[in-house]
Amino acid sequence: MSAMRVDAKVVMLGKESVGKTSLVERYVHHRFLVGPYQNTIGAAFVAKPIQVGDKVITLGIWDTAGSERYEAMSRIYYRGARAAVVCYDLTDSSSFQRARFWVKELQNCEEHCKIYLCGTKNDLIEGDRSLRQIDYHDAQDFAEEIGAQHFETSSKTGSNVGEFAFSEHLFVSCFSAEEPGVDLGQKKDSYFYSCCHNN
């Protein structure tokens, strides 16, 4: 058994069902899970080692539950985060309001956390443009106003997930090699993710 160290903490935030878990699944396991939607309870964690130059650093990704029932808990998970991926569903305008809420929270409580604004389920829009509820330029203007990077992704097709939303060189910008990582202690497995999902 070896100790697990997390060098940079990343938190996923956004309304329930926007696709946070799917984005993490696509990024970490290169897959899209089909079947009934399983809402996250509390939060789930996954460690992802990435190559940065000649070093390997470990991202600790906290996938929070979007349900407002867990809102207070989500605050615990963004504490000390280097990066936050704030997600909204391109086909659900209320999810964009919720994204604004999380951005405000981060600005008030974690001013050094880098924000990535992510419009999800782009494949649905490509299939039927009338489904789009959030104009690209409105979201882009908001992203510029808050100094965030903005992407539209699809976890189903993988579009923009590796290339942009989770682009490793973006995370490199939030990682300073001088800072010590956080030791999470002895863990049997660095992956204890799926147990945090409801049926």
Instruction: Put the strands of the sheet holding 55-64 in their side by side order.
Output: 43-52, 55-64, 8-14, 83-89, 114-120, 149-152
Site string for ligand GTP, 80-119 (x = CB under 6 A): ----------------------------------------
What is the CB neighbour count within 10 angstroms for residue 109?
A: 11
Tally helices (H) and strands (E) across the chain. 6, 8
Distance separating alpha carbons of residues 132 and 109, to the nearest angstrom: 31
**3-state percent breakdown (helix, strand, coil) of the chain, nearest 5:** 35, 30, 35
Nearer to ligand GTP, 62 or 175 (CB): 62
Nearer to ligand GTP, 9 or 121 (CB): 121
Distance separating alpha carbons of residues 26 and 7, to the nearest angstrom: 21
19 binds ligand GTP (CB under 6 A): yes
43 binds ligand GTP (CB under 6 A): no
What's the min distance (Å) between Cβ of 122 and ligand GTP?
7
Among 5, 100, 156, 187, interactor with ligand GTP by CB under 6 A: 156
165 binds ligand GTP (CB under 6 A): no
Q: Residue with the closest Cβ to ligand GTP?
A: 66
66 binds ligand GTP (CB under 6 A): yes
Instruction: Choose among 14, 134, 120: nearest CA to 67.
Output: 14
Residue 64 sits at φ, ψ, to 5 deg, of: -85, 160
Nearer to ligand GTP, 120 or 190 (CB): 120
123 binds ligand GTP (CB under 6 A): yes
Residues 11 and 82: beta-carbon distance below 8 Å: no
Region 170-199 residues binding ligand GTP, contact defined as CB under 6 A: none
40 binds ligand GTP (CB under 6 A): yes
Note the residues at the interface with ligand GTP (CB under 6 A): 14, 16-22, 37, 39-40, 65-67, 120-121, 123-124, 154-156
